[in-house]
Chains A and B, each alone.
Chain A
Amino acid sequence: MNPRLVILDVVARPLYVVVLLASLVVLLRGHNEPGGGFIAGLVAVTASVLWALAHGPAAAEARLPFRSPLILSAVGVALGVVSGLPALLFGDAFLTHLWGAIPLGFTELKVSTVLVFDVGVYLCVWGALAGYALSLLEADLTPADDERPEPRR
């Protein structure tokens, strides 16, 4: 890989946060408008890839929630399964989603198990695809047998 780029290095720090915030916006607006867990997950993956380009795949992995792509995606799938379970209390079928509203005075906040499901998709996509992308970048960094190891800074 190229020697580290100072500009990328500096810009990556705020950009990482901005991209993740953008992914959250996409996640939440996906309820009634284009967006949702899958696309938001893809946006979040770009943040991880950005960090990997600036600081290396290992550093990007350490910045993931739970510090592991596998755990992150497993937690995502688990949230997806869990979101279908409250239906059990009401004798409904698995994945029957429940809705509620919390009055806030001036408006009301709608909460639902669908959101839990969507967050699950988000984490799963983020974990799985970041895992693939980071391993590929890692493979790119690892010298092949017939190459001399490059000096690492």
Chain B
Amino acid sequence: MSVWLAASPVLVPLATALATALAYRHARLQRLLSLAGIVAFFGTALTLVATVQGGETLAVAFGSWPAPFGIEFRIDRLGASLVLITALMGLACLVFHESDADPGNRHPLLLPLVHGVLAGVAGAFATADLFNLYVWFEVMLIAALGVFAIGGRRDQLDASFKYLTLNLLGTLLLLIGVGAIYAATGHLNYGALAEAAAGLPPALTTLLLTVLGLAFLVKAGAFPLFAWLPASYHTLPGPILALFAGLLTKVGAYAVLRVVGDVFAPPPAVLLEALGWIAAATMLVGVLGAAYHWDIRRILAFHIISQIGYILLATALAGEAGNAATLFYTLHHIVVKANLFLIGAIVWRLTGSYDLRRIGGLWQARPWLGVLFAIPALSLVGIPPLSGFWAKYLVLFEAIGQGRIVWTVVALLVSVLTLYSMMKIWLEAFWRPHPDAGWTLPRDARLAPAVAATVGLAAITLWIGTQPEALIAYARAAAATMGGAAP
């Protein structure tokens, strides 16, 4: 049965996508199938983590063609935890989508495409084959593109076009990189590549990893290749935006970690040095971009970029501690970031706008929402005792330990600027009175599913914050079995 469990990260969402596509004429049935599918996915992902947390890896060679020739899924602690967080985000966002907080156009193709995105994301986390990784990136891209285009509004088509063009460049670069690596080593399987990598001349390894790394950095939204992200994300419906914001860029960051920190570990030092500076620039540019904007979605979209910088910084620190910090930061950040977008959608429902200059007065009307927003917002900044504090602690402790003072100072500075952004949202949306004196809360808002989803995610943030030992131990165990174990 273990081979089927190993294939489940793709099989379950794919089956759900099919079932919802076949039911596209029956809206209620489609929503039920979608929810049932995501619950099943969450269940199998939990089983997956429970199975691998002892150190066992789950593998399946599709069609019984053995590795290194066939395509293999090989799920270790790193992959399993990311599959679980994917399923969790899918669950939270699809439950949230049952409310009327910015649900967007309920097109019959929306749910099949969203499950298609989930299949692509989970497939990328599960696979142990470089070309197969490319395929899952492509599945993600095509399905996400469908979601972007679905409304057919002018700004949506504009966003889809920018998303398509810039991501296709990344994809092309990725394909070139994969092809070159295959030409150089004759392998695509991670395990076989790790063995073959030792025999490559260092200059060639540097070149190959540069091409591959650049492609992943486009996908991750790193400086200076992030232009597609703020250009497109704000046209999505709230819960879908939260799902994309939480997951998609993190697949790029994961791919960097997998390649630099596992398969080709230890990589040439010059690459880690470059990655570190890219990370610092990403952090800084992202947070400065956010300071300029007044639309909640745009502010948060720039913070995705800024936070990707922290994740890449952890990867650049390399070694067991760096890899563990990368995983911890990624898991914490996905939950927090998605939750902020979801709460933003609730704010939109209650006040009628995402523009901070046109809203306000929520602290008077809905104080619990102010508290709910403060949990992920302060966690994003890194205030103890929330999850973000431990994530930043792990990264910065390692950065100081390696004598990387400039990167540490940048990271701390960016934290302060992040606090400024979050305070801006809090002051404008919650504290300040509503600019329209006649404004009242909408009476017919159906927010119960939205509140359930956001409170659940906030509870996870609080749990990680107060009980970080379990997750830190898991991340360290995951890093211990990765290739970067001996720096």
Contact = CB atoms under 8 A, between A and B. Distances in A.
Given A74-B18, A81-B14, A94 B62 contact: yes
A78 B3 CA distance: 20
Nearest to B21: A74
B61 A81 contact: no
A88 B4 contact: yes
11 contacts: A71-B24, A77-B18, A78-B18, A78-B22, A81-B11, A87-B64, A92-B3, A93-B60, A93-B63, A94-B3, A95-B63
A24 B124 CA distance: 35
Most chain-A Cβ atoms within 10 A of its Cβ — which of B14, B21, B63, B64?
Answer: B63
A95 B6 CA distance: 13
B7 interface: yes
A77 B15 CA distance: 9
Contacts of B112: 74
Given A93-B61, A96-B64, 17 more contacts: A70-B109, A71-B22, A75-B22, A77-B18, A78-B18, A78-B22, A81-B11, A81-B15, A81-B18, A87-B64, A93-B7, A93-B60, A93-B62, A93-B64, A94-B60, A94-B63, A97-B63
A48 to B, nearest CB: 19
A74 B22 contact: yes
Cβ-closest 7 pairs across A and B: A74-B21, A96-B64, A95-B63, A94-B7, A93-B3, A95-B62, A93-B60
A70 B24 contact: yes
Contacts of B63: 84, 93-97
Contacts of A87: 64
A5 B38 CA distance: 51
A96 B61 CA distance: 9
Please classify the interface of chain A as helix (H, G, I), strand (E, B), loop, or mixed, using the class held by over half of its residues. helix
Interface of B: 3-4, 7, 11, 14-15, 18, 21-22, 24, 60-64, 109, 112
Interface size class of A (residues with CB under 8 A): 10 to 19
Given A70-B24, A88-B4, A94 B11 contact: yes
Contacts of A78: 18, 22
Nearest to B15: A81
A92 B64 contact: yes
Contacts of B62: 93-95
A121 to B, nearest CB: 15
B361 to A, nearest CB: 41
B332 to A, nearest CB: 33
A104 B90 CA distance: 51
B97 to A, nearest CB: 21
Nearest to B14: A81
Interface in A77-104: 77-78, 81, 84, 87-88, 92-97
Contacts of A95: 62-63
Contacts of B11: 81, 94
Nearest to B3: A93
B213 to A, nearest CB: 31
B33 to A, nearest CB: 12
Contacts of B109: 70
A87 B62 CA distance: 11
Nearest to A117: B63
A151 B342 CA distance: 49
A88 B109 CA distance: 30
A71 B25 CA distance: 10
Most chain-B Cβ atoms within 10 A of its Cβ — which of A75, A87, A94, A97?
Answer: A94
Nearest to B109: A70
Contacts of B14: 77, 81
A78 B24 CA distance: 15
B11 to A, nearest CB: 7
A146 to B, nearest CB: 16
A95 B7 CA distance: 10
Contacts of A74: 18, 21-22, 112
Contacts of A94: 3-4, 7, 11, 60, 62-63
Interface string A90-130: 00111111000000000000000000000000000000000
A73 B64 CA distance: 26
B279 to A, nearest CB: 38
A84 B62 CA distance: 9
Nearest to A114: B63
Contacts of B7: 93-94
Interface in A6-20: none
A140 B11 CA distance: 38
B442 to A, nearest CB: 34
Contacts of A84: 63
A113 to B, nearest CB: 10
Contacts of B21: 70-71, 74
